[in-house]
Amino acid sequence: MIDLHIIQQAVLESRDGAAIVDLRQKDRPVVFVNPAFERITGYTETEVLGRNCRFLQGNDTKQPETSIINKAIAAGEYCMVTLRNYRKDGSLFWNELSLSPIYSAAGELTHYIGMQRDITDRIALIQQLLKQKEKLQHQNQYLQILNNIDTLTGINNRRYFDSQLNIQWNIALRNRFPVSLFMVEIDYFKQFNDIYGHLAGDECLKVVAKTLSNYLRRVSDFIARYGGEKFVILINNINEKQAQAFADQLRSQVQSLAIAHEESPIAHYVSVSIGHCTLIPELDMNAKTFLQRADEALYQAKAAGRNQAIKN
């Protein structure tokens, strides 16, 4: 087992801010912050301890991401959101916040650890790119965008995914960070079309696609319709545990839509099976093998009874 001193040093030396809150105390006060947290926010440890982290939102408290955080804490689940936070000097920074539950040896949820990353520069670049995109008026540029979109669901199509997979793979290979691929397939979709008709099937595809898209939290997250009733999602820089939690939450989100499906043995509602793979690319690997591993995991999820998320 790794030395606790090493873990402590890793947290203290991390470039990402870290804060631990105590759920057993009133208003979930902060009980620990690392030096990076102080650096990012401008607040000292003394000024932060004993306070709820919401003070970093200043008067900007109506952000929808706060409800995501509250739901995750109530359920004892992992979540990742991007918040507008404010430093001690009042300046805005965009906080990519990853929250993970901490359980006691007895299985009691006692604390949450929040890892924060200042992505202000990334957001500024994205906003700049969006402004430039809005200025593009030429018809050929507009048609190029349309060529990347699945006309039924409005999300990216298979051709665009194929190009993005190689791009994301090479970026992860160059920067040595993990990339996760999720293959999502609607269970018993042929039977759904047979019972309710293709128009209802098309509507089901659109609703599921929108639900999956809405659950993506970061601008860099990528979703596409892979074909038929199958979707693919690419996410970078999360670990296997986070990927499994994300896949389980995706599956739960679709099932909670409660779309009737009389021929499905899974509570008579539309559900999805998910296969996923997370790895750090190496020179002797390729994106095609990565895709195959996720597809194999999807096959295992279907063989195990469907409405499951399995990693490979």
Q: Which residues are catalytic?
A: 229
Alpha-carbon gap, residue 14 to 176, rounded angstroms: 17
Residue 14 tokens read as 């991390």
Angle between the N-to-C axes of helices 240-255 and 198-215, in degrees from 0 to 180, rounded to the nearest 10: 140
DSSP SS3 for 108:
coil
Q: CB under 8 Å to 143, separation ≥6 — which residues?
A: none
Phi, psi of 234 (to 5 degrees): -115, 130
Looking at the DSSP bridge assignments, the partners of residue 56 are none
User: Measuring CA to CA, how many Å separate 132 from each of 145, 222, 255, 302?
Assistant: 14, 21, 38, 43
